[in-house]
Amino acid sequence: MYDVIKLKGNKPNKIGAKECKKLNTKVVGTIRQWVDGTVFHQVANEIDTHNLWTKLEALYQPKTTQNKAFLIRRLVKLTLTSKHTIAENLSDFQDIVNQLSTLELVLGEEL
């Protein structure tokens, strides 16, 4: 389903227009199913997968300098805690790294 979002509204070469429309509708329905009710009204009229995803990204993960600085601060202050397992600590670390890469911020070797 992620491929449909990345197509940015364009039809893939391998399937026909009818199949493409059906897949788009299926992906839009799946995404809407998991959208919180407090923001559903902001995306309820979107029928294109890419536009829907772009709106949700703007709502939940803005690519602002403030957001990047916040995530870097979280990464720098991250410490190993004994009340969590190693797997949970690693998961927290990986979550921050994934969010930073989603914001297109490349972490240098030094950081």
CA 109 to chain centre: 25
pLDDT for the residue numbered 13: 65
Each domain of the chain, given as residue ranges in start order, spans 2-60, 65-102
Considering the entire predicted model, what is its pTM?
0.58
Residues 28, 48: Cα–Cα separation, whole Å: 7
Rounded-to-integer distance, Cα 51 and Cα 14, Å: 22
Distance CA 41, CA 51 (A): 14
| Packed helices 86-102 and 65-77: angle between N→C axes, nearest 10 degrees | 160
For position 11, what pLDDT does the model report? Answer: 63
Distances (CA, A) of 26 to 5, 18, 59: 12, 12, 22
The letter for the amino acid at 86 is I
Q: Indicate the burial class of 81 (C-beta count within 10 angstroms; 0-12, 13-18, 19 or more).
A: exposed
Q: Divide the 111 residues of the chain into consecutive groups of 10 and give the mean pLDDT of each group.
A: 66 71 86 87 86 84 80 88 88 88 77 67
